[in-house]
Amino acid sequence: MIKYTNEHEWLRIEGDIVVIGVTPYAAEQLGDVVFVELPDVGKSFSQNDDMAVVESVKAASDVYAPISGEIVEVNDVIVEEPSKVNEDPAGEAWFVKMRVSDSSQLDALMDEAAYKEFLENV
């Protein structure tokens, strides 16, 4: 199941782990990504904390933790090759995997249909 935030992040739910990345819309808005900074594995975040940094030719932007939880894995591929964020934001260029601490937060996020509607009004 995929969920979306109004900060243009996607979350793929795999049991008590969620895979988190930015949406193609976010990648397009950022422009060419040139630098990605990811958190350390084991670090815990509360929902909406600054979790990662994405720098493009336009600006540096924070990526917020879409839910509360602990980082269990990060995707070093996008640190080595930031261009992947533009090439395949919804697939290969995932950012982190998190262990969910409060699964009720997931229920409040948008599903695909809701996110599509949200995009139309951006």
What phi-psi label fits residue 16: left (phi over 0), alpha (psi between -120 and 50 degrees) or beta? alpha
Work out whether 59 is an interface residue with other proteins (CB under 8 A): yes
Binding part of the chain for other proteins, among 11-19, 51-59, 71-79, 95-103 by CB under 8 A, reads 51-59
Q: Is 113 in the site for other proteins (CB under 8 A)?
A: no
Asked whether position 57 contacts other proteins by CB under 8 A, the answer is: yes
How far apart, in whole angstroms, are the C-alpha atoms of residue 55 and residue 73?
21
Task: Assess 77 for contact with other proteins (CB under 8 A).
Answer: no
Can you read off the two tokens belonging to residue 93?
Answer: 């260029």
Closest CA to 69 of 41, 102, 39: 102
| Binding residues for other proteins (CB under 8 A) | 32, 34-35, 55, 57-61, 82-83
